[in-house]
C-alpha cells in the first residue's frame, strides 16, 4: 500500500469554486482527437478520467481498479506539452489536481507515489504547467499540483523547483494582490505548506523581498494609519500615536488569511538565522504583533503571534537580547502580556506561551537602564518623544555614554540627523535629534569637534530654513549652543 498522501487546501471554498467551473465544462475529446489537435491516446485517457472522477460515473469497482501509473500520467503530461487548445489544457491541469486531492481509496496515494518514483516526470509536469499563455486560474491550479507533490513525506527535497515557482511572475502577482483575498489566500497557503519542509525555508527567505511585505501587509490589516500613508516595509520608524486598531474579526476569510500568514512567518522562524533577520529587518512588524494580540478574539491568531515572538527570543537566535529589549522598550510588551493573563483562554498551549514570554521579558527588564531604552530607539530608528529625550536627569546621568568608544553614540546621533534630513519625511524625528545634539553640546562642549568633522554643523545650519517651525526652533537652539550662547 502506498504511503498516505498529504492533501492540501481542502478548506478553500474559492479554490473549490474555481475547479467546479472547470468541472462543469465538457471537453469534446473525441472531436479534438479527430481534428488532430490532441492524440487519440491522450484524448482517451483524459475522457476516461473525466468520466470516472469528475462526472462521478465510475462505479466503486471501476474506481478501485483504476491504476495510476505511466499509462495514466504520461498521456496527461503529453497533452499539456503538445495541445494548443486551452479548454483541454485547463481540464487536464484540473484532472491532475483531482487525482492529488481525491479521497477515494488509493488514487491520491498512487499519484504521489508515481511522481516520487519518477522524479523526472515531476520536472516535466512543472515545465508544462506555467505557460505565459495560461490564465490566472490555470496558474493557481498548476501551482497547487506542484506544491502538493513538493510537500509529500518521503519526497526528495527539490529546492530548484521551489525557486522556479517563486520566480514565476504570474504566481507572485497573484500573491501580491491582497485586495483579491480569495486568490491571495491560495498562494499564501501554498507557501505556508512549502515552509513545513525545512529545506525550503531558506529558499523562500531568499525571496523575502517579494513575499514578506505582502505577508505582513495581510497581518497588519487590523492596524490602520490615520494618515493613510502608503505601506513601506523598508520604513524604520513609525509614529505610534497615529496608529488605530480596528476590528479584525468581521471576515472569516480575512481571519484565515491572517492566520496562515502568521503561520508562514512562524515556520520561517524555525530557522534561527531567518528568525534573527526577521526580528531586526522587520522589527516594526514584529512589534505590531503585540498590537494585534490586544484586539483579536481569535485564540489561534494570538497563539501563533506569541509563538513567533518566542522563537525570535530564543537564545539560539543571534541578537535575541536586543530583540527582547525592543519588545519591552518599544513595544510595551510587559503591560500587554499582563493584560492577556487576565483572559480565560481555552488553549493550554497559548496560556503556556504567554507565561513563557512574560518570564523572558521580566528577566531582561530587571537589567534594563534608561540608556538601554535610548539606544534601542536610535538603533531601531523608531524615535519618539520618550522620557529620555525630555528628562534632564537622563542627560546628567548618562552624558558620559556619548563619549565612549570614540563618541560612538554621539556619532550615531549625527548620522541619523543627516539621514533624516535627506529623507525629509519625518519632522518629529528631526526635532528630537536636534534637541538631543543640543543636550550633548551643552554638557560636553568638546563634542563640537566631532560635529564639525562629520559635517553636522552644516546640516544644523541648513535646518534653520526648514519648513517646520519646531524643527527651526530646535535647530536654532543647537546653533546657539554651538556658539556658546545658552538659549532662553
pLDDT value, residue 94: 95
**Is residue 383 domain-shared with residue 257, that is, in the same domain?**
no
pLDDT value, residue 2: 57
The residue among 82, 72, 163, 59 whose CA lies nearest residue 113 is: 72
What residues have CB less than 8 Å from 394, skipping those under 6 apart?
Answer: 370, 374, 387, 388
Evaluated on CA atoms 324, 328, 330, 331, the torsion sign reads: positive
- Give the H/E segment covering residue 380: helix 370-380
**Is residue 374 domain-shared with residue 362, that is, in the same domain?**
no
Rounded to two decimals, the pTM is 0.79
**Is residue 73 domain-shared with residue 164, that is, in the same domain?**
yes
pLDDT value, residue 171: 96
In this structure, the number of other CB atoms found within 10 A of the CB of residue 406 comes to 8
By CB atoms closer than 10 A (0-12, 13-18, 19+), residue 25 is exposed
The last residue of a domain, from among 317, 335, 368: 368
Is 185 contained in some domain?
no
The last residue of a domain, from among 368, 392, 411: 368
Is 187 contained in some domain?
no
Is 201 contained in some domain?
no
pLDDT value, residue 275: 98
**Is residue 171 domain-shared with residue 93, that is, in the same domain?**
yes
Residue 470, C-alpha cell as written in the block: 519646531
88, 284, 455 from 483: Cα distances, Å: 81, 38, 16
Is 138 contained in some domain?
yes
Is 233 contained in some domain?
yes
**Is residue 348 domain-shared with residue 374, that is, in the same domain?**
no
Residue 36, C-alpha cell as written in the block: 488532430
Is 488 contained in some domain?
no
Q: Give the DSSP letter string of 76-110.
A: HHHHHHH---HHHHHHHHHHHHHHHH--STTHHHH
The last residue of a domain, from among 368, 397, 427: 368
What is the distance between the alpha carbons of residues 270 and 335, in angstroms, rounded to a whole number? 27
**Is residue 355 domain-shared with residue 418, that is, in the same domain?**
no
**Is residue 361 domain-shared with residue 215, that is, in the same domain?**
yes
| List of the chain residues with pLDDT < 70 | 1-2, 58, 105, 222-251, 485-488
**Is residue 43 domain-shared with residue 145, that is, in the same domain?**
yes
pLDDT digits (tens, 9 = 90+) for 47-98: 999 988 887 776 777 777 788 999 999 999 999 999 999 999 999 999 999 9
Is 417 contained in some domain?
yes
Q: Which long-range contacts (CB under 8 A, 24 or more apart) does 471-478 make?
A: 471/427, 471/430, 471/431, 471/434, 473/431, 474/430, 474/431, 474/434, 474/435, 474/438, 475/434, 477/434, 477/435, 477/438, 478/434, 478/435, 478/437, 478/438, 478/441
**Is residue 95 domain-shared with residue 8, that is, in the same domain?**
yes
The residue among 181, 98, 171, 101 whose CA lies nearest residue 137 is: 171
Q: Domain of 54: which CATH number? A: 1.25.10.10
What residues have CB less than 8 Å from 482, skipping those under 6 apart?
Answer: 441, 448, 451, 457, 460
Is 429 contained in some domain?
yes
Q: What's the total number of domains in the chain?
A: 3
Backbone φ, ψ for residue 243 (5° rounding): -100, 135
What residues have CB less than 8 Å from 428, skipping those under 6 apart?
Answer: 239, 383, 384, 385
Range of the domain at 223: 207-368
What is the distance between the alpha carbons of residues 65 and 423, in angstroms, rounded to a whole number? 69
**Is residue 111 domain-shared with residue 252, that is, in the same domain?**
no
**Is residue 233 domain-shared with residue 345, that is, in the same domain?**
yes
**Is residue 364 domain-shared with residue 402, that is, in the same domain?**
no
How far out from the chain centre does Cα 386 lie?
A: 29
Q: Domain of 376: which CATH number? A: 1.25.40.150
Amino acid at each position: 500500500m502506498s504511503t498516505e498522501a498529504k492533501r492540501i487546501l481542502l478548506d478553500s471554498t474559492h479554490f473549490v469554486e474555481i475547479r467546479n467551473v472547470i468541472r462543469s465544462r465538457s471537453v469534446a475529446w473525441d472531436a479534438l482527437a479527430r481534428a488532430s489537435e490532441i492524440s487519440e491516446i491522450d484524448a482517451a485517457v483524459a475522457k476516461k478520467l473525466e468520466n470516472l472522477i469528475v462526472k462521478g460515473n465510475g462505479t466503486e469497482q471501476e474506481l478501485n481498479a483504476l491504476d495510476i501509473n505511466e499509462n495514466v500520467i504520461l498521456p496527461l503530461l503529453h497533452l499539456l506539452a503538445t495541445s494548443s487548445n486551452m479548454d483541454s489544457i485547463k481540464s487536464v491541469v484540473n484532472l491532475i489536481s483531482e487525482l492529488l486531492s481525491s479521497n477515494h481509496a488509493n488514487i491520491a496515494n498512487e499519484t504521489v507515489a508515481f511522481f516520487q518514483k519518477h522524479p523526472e516526470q515531476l520536472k516535466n509536469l512543472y515545465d508544462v504547467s506555467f505557460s505565459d499563455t495560461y490564465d490566472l486560474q490555470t496558474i493557481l491550479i498548476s501551482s497547487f499540483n506542484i506544491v502538493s507533490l513538493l510537500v509529500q513525506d518521503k519526497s526528495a527535497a527539490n529546492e530548484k523547483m521551489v525557486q522556479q515557482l517563486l520566480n514565476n511572475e504570474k504566481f507572485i502577482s497573484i500573491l501580491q494582490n491582497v485586495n483579491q483575498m480569495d486568490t491571495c489566500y491560495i498562494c499564501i497557503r501554498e507557501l505556508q505548506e512549502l515552509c513545513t519542509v525545512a529545506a525550503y525555508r531558506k529558499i523562500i527567505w531568499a525571496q523575502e523581498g517579494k513575499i514578506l511585505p505582502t505577508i505582513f501587509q495581510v497581518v497588519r490589516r487590523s492596524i490602520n494609519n490615520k494618515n493613510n500613508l502608503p505601506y513601506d516595509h523598508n520604513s524604520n520608524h513609525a509614529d505610534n500615536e497615529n496608529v488605530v486598531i480596528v476590528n479584525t474579526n468581521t471576515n472569516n476569510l480575512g481571519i484565515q488569511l491572517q492566520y496562515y500568514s502568521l503561520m508562514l512567518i512562524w515556520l520561517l522562524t524555525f530557522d534561527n538565522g531567518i528568525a534573527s533577520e526577521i526580528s531586526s529587518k522587520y522589527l516594526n512588524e514584529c512589534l505590531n504583533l503585540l498590537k494585534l494580540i490586544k484586539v483579536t478574539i481569535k485564540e489561534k491568531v494570538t497563539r501563533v503571534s506569541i509563538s513567533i515572538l518566542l522563537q525570535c527570543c530564543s537564545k539560539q537566535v543571534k541578537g535575541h537580547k536586543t530583540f527582547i529589549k525592543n519588545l519591552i522598550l518599544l513595544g510595551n510588551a510587559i503591560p500587554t502580556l499582563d493584560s492577556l493573563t487576565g483572559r480565560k483562554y481555552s488553549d493550554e498551549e497559548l496560556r503556556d506561551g504567554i507565561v513563557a514570554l512574560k518570564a523572558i521579558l521580566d528577566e531582561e527588564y530587571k537589567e534594563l537602564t534608561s540608556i538601554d531604552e535610548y539606544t534601542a530607539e536610535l538603533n531601531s530608528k523608531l524615535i519618539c518623544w520618550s522620557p529620555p529625550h525630555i528628562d534632564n536627569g537622563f542627560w546628567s546621568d548618562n552624558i558620559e555614554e556619548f563619549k565612549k568608544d570614540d563618541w560612538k553614540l554621539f556619532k550615531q546621533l549625527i548620522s541619523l540627523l543627516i539621514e533624516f534630513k535627506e529623507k525629509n519625511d519625518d519632522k518629529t524625528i528631526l526635532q528630537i535629534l536636534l534637541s538631543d545634539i543640543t543636550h550633548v553640546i551643552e554638557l560636553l562642549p568638546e563634542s563640537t569637534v566631532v560635529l564639525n568633522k562629520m559635517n553636522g554643523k552644516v546640516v544644523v545650519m541648513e535646518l534653520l530654513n526648514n519648513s517646520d517651525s519646531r524643527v527651526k526652533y530646535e535647530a536654532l537652539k543647537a546653533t546657539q549652543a554651538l556658539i556658546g550662547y545658552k538659549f532662553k
